[in-house]
Amino acid sequence: MKEQQQVTPQQAGGISRRNFIGGAAAAAMAVSGTASAAKAVGLPKKFQLKYAPSLGQFREHAGRDPIDNLKFMADMGFSAMFDNGLMGKPKDMQEKIAREMDRLDMTLGPFVLYADFGKKSFVTRDEAIREMLIKRMKEGVEVAKRTNAKWALVVPGRFDEGLEWDYQTANVIDNLKICADVVEPSGLVIVIEPLNAWTDHPGLFLTKIPQSYQICRAVGSPSCKIVNDIYHQQITEGNLIPNIDMAWEEIASFHVGDNPGRREPGTGEINYKNVFKHIHKKGYEGVLCMEHGKSKRGKDGERAVIEAYRACDDF
């Protein structure tokens, strides 16, 4: 009897990924390795926009290995990825992820550089906090160099109940200027994120797109822009497309999630097909981070996410 071959976890992830694509497609790619062969057997084409799954979003199909996840994303037609926890990963893993993304011609979305929801930080003139922010920005620059990241996300923290709002705004602007001065020489762009106070994040200073636009204009740096989280802004103010147009020159990235529920497009009230079509028509070439959960569990849920983006990208 022939000895049974053992399968490693990494190989198992690859098998699962190929099974999702289809046996015929995998066989054709293995033989020829050409894009034409993939097209002939029906592999998914690239999406029109750079929708970016998070690492682990497809773990039921790809396993937990980041490289297997990236390969699966690329096979499904995604040309971007985001990882909020990138800064916390070991340096060698950051570099490994960057090499694989470069090989797959994928773009890295914003990683979280600073987001302390429990602290009054940017709204203050505290020198110790400014020193902390400068140190954090320098660390972010090093991560960006290792990973080829273009954008890093910043949340300005909580508002101060005991300080006039306009003074707080001025402090946020001054602190962002300091941060932008640190990152600008490297080419890294800070993207500030307004978050909703009604459902998820009560007490934070930055909540609206017009507010974020005003601050970015005042900072006046190419390294201080906005990440427009469409889920949050549907809750806070709605009027999604007009606000995108009004703030367009200061928007560098998007986050995606439907409302209510913060799941994939098509599960809530947002007409994502129209939003994506509008963004594409404006010539957007950046990343749209898929920062949401799934409406179903397991592999069915992961398939539903991919199918939802296929439906919304069909314009």
Which DSSP helix (H) or strand (E) runs through 287?
A: strand 287-290
- Quick one: pLDDT at residue 175? 98
Specify whether the CB–CB gap between 220 and 159 falls below 8 A.
no
Specify whether the CB–CB gap between 152 and 188 falls below 8 A.
yes
* Sequence-distant (≥ 6) Cβ neighbours of residue 23 within 8 angstroms: none
Task: List residues with catalytic annotation.
Answer: 193, 291
Peptide linkage before 260 cis (omega within 30 of 0): yes
Tell which CATH architecture fits domain 44-312. Alpha-Beta Barrel (3.20)
- Quick one: pLDDT at residue 308? 98
Alpha-carbon distance 113 to 87, whole Å? 7
**What are the 10-residue block averages of pLDDT along the chain, 315 residues in total?**
40 47 41 38 84 97 98 98 98 98 98 98 98 98 98 98 98 98 98 98 98 98 98 98 98 98 98 98 98 98 98 97
Map out the domains of the chain as residue ranges.
44-312
Q: What's the DSSP call for residue 158?
A: B
- Quick one: pLDDT at residue 274? 98
- The angle subtended at Cα 17 by Cα 79 and Cα 268, nearest 5°, is 60
- Quick one: pLDDT at residue 42? 58
Alpha-carbon distance 106 to 74, whole Å? 8
Alpha-carbon distance 72 to 13, whole Å? 9
Residue 31: how many CB atoms within 10 A of its CB?
9
DSSP states along 253-275: EEEE--TTTS-STTSSS--HHHH
Residue 33, φ and ψ in degrees, nearest 5: 65, 25
Specify whether the CB–CB gap between 117 and 89 falls below 8 A.
no
Alpha-carbon distance 86 to 220, whole Å? 27
3-state secondary structure (DSSP) of residue 104: coil
Tokens found for residue 207: 């909540």
